[in-house]
Chain A
């Protein structure tokens, strides 16, 4: 693989950009791999990458039914933070956030990580107490956050209306090294690095069955034929219940639509990410100048990647209260993704009832930020059978009553 660099840009400019090579190969599947990962979203690709990088397991295929990064990876609002309440979450999300800091260098691919800071607004007394508690928990976990007062919020976000009609801003939980990154670039960067290690990223290939022999996986059937493997990783987000069904087990997961929208591009007006969990509205400004907006999930199971219009209406209503200038903006696009929600709003990284099948799912509305950490932890789980970051996230926690309850902490969790 030719490295990207300032020198490479100059060299290619001199020869009219005729020398750029494809970022990844587009191979036909082999008949057998050591490891197959189903799902070439960010999490699946990152899992493969760290299997190769950290454990030297490189005979790997990542199988994708659509195009890589076309699932939730390419549909999210890219908020990155690690200010969770419970210790296992803080460990996993902070590992992930810290990997974002060096990801562009590590992958030799510009993922445009922008640690511009994230504020979660406290708009009820309940939220004030909740976020103060989180700030204390974060201090003990070594995650740098602080609870800030309304005046500080106004300094950081001049366009905010502190005394909104329904919910005045009473403070906020501020994480200065949170921020955002380019979602597609994260998937593309990992795909390029995986391909460079000799792994096969196989697109337009849907897994239709998980083949087993005596409680143990032997391979998968796909729209491009049967492929054998020793170990299988299921990393398919909203389709987790469906693919788990192919392997013969159920999950504590419901799939629902989550939507986002972007405005026309405007001059720079807000250089931090703001989340208002009480009213379900999130906003940041992209480098192009568009306001990137996320809202709440639909209230019913759905696999269509379309949501209900009234949720868009609710989100926009909430944002107009908090940022009155938004009322003059035209919205350009709106879309939906299918998110996989667990009962405790925490992910599942786990062994399964089928030997050598591992599952990584349940990231719900908030897994983009976890992409590198999830891949790192999942690779360790698949290589060694357990790991310090994943031990608490096994699916047996529901049966055992060991929830990692982030639903009270966040309400929603982008």
Chain B
């Protein structure tokens, strides 16, 4: 069972209190964008074997959305952070680089 800490209200709880919302930091493309960009935004996912940035909602708590960095092969949570950002904050990246040497932010986009 995953244990997450909501960065909005500070509560640490089991995953049953949260609801997963899929990959985080997707760049939105709308009218006027190319077909490649639109397809990538709507459907293509990194789905990595390793470090994953994802959206969660504290559904049975404060109700706020936030982001988590997690490893999909060990289920280790590297940290959670507020959703109002285009990139993971430096301290989260530092934790990941420390634990997964050679890791790079965003190979695809």
Q: Are B72 and A399 touching (Cβ within 8 A)?
A: no
Could you tell me the distance between the alpha carbons of A245 and B20 in the complex, rounded to whole angstroms?
24
Q: Does B94 contact A (CB under 8 A)?
A: no
Q: Does B1 contact A (CB under 8 A)?
A: yes
Count, chain B residues at interface, CB 8 A: 28
Residues of B within 8 A of A310 (CB): 1, 15-16
Residues of B within 8 A of A399 (CB): 35, 39, 43
Q: Does B9 contact A (CB under 8 A)?
A: no
The bracket for how many chain A residues form the interface is 20 to 34
Q: Are A254 and B47 touching (Cβ within 8 A)?
A: yes
Q: Does A221 contact B (CB under 8 A)?
A: no
1/0 contact string of B98-109 vs chain A (CB within 8 Å): 000000000110
The 8 Å CB contact of B1, one of A241, A302, A309, is A309
Q: Are A251 and B2 touching (Cβ within 8 A)?
A: no
CB distance from A314 to the nearest CB of B (A): 10
Could you tell me the distance between the alpha carbons of A18 and B47 in the complex, rounded to whole angstroms?
49
Q: Are B45 and A308 touching (Cβ within 8 A)?
A: no
The 8 Å CB contact of A308, one of B15, B22, B39, B47, is B15
CB distance from A39 to the nearest CB of B (A): 15
Known: A300-B20, A309-B1, A399-B39. A254 touches B75 (CB 8 A): no
Q: Are B49 and A239 touching (Cβ within 8 A)?
A: yes
Give residues of chain A (307-348) contacting chain B, Cβ–Cβ below 8 Å: 308-310, 343
Q: Are A250 and B46 touching (Cβ within 8 A)?
A: yes
A interface residues with partner B (beta carbon < 8 Å): 239, 241-242, 245, 250-255, 299-304, 308-310, 343, 398-399
Please name the 9 residue pairs, one residue from A and one from B, whose CB atoms are nearest each other, closest first: A241-B47, A252-B43, A299-B20, A300-B20, A399-B39, A250-B44, A398-B43, A242-B49, A303-B72
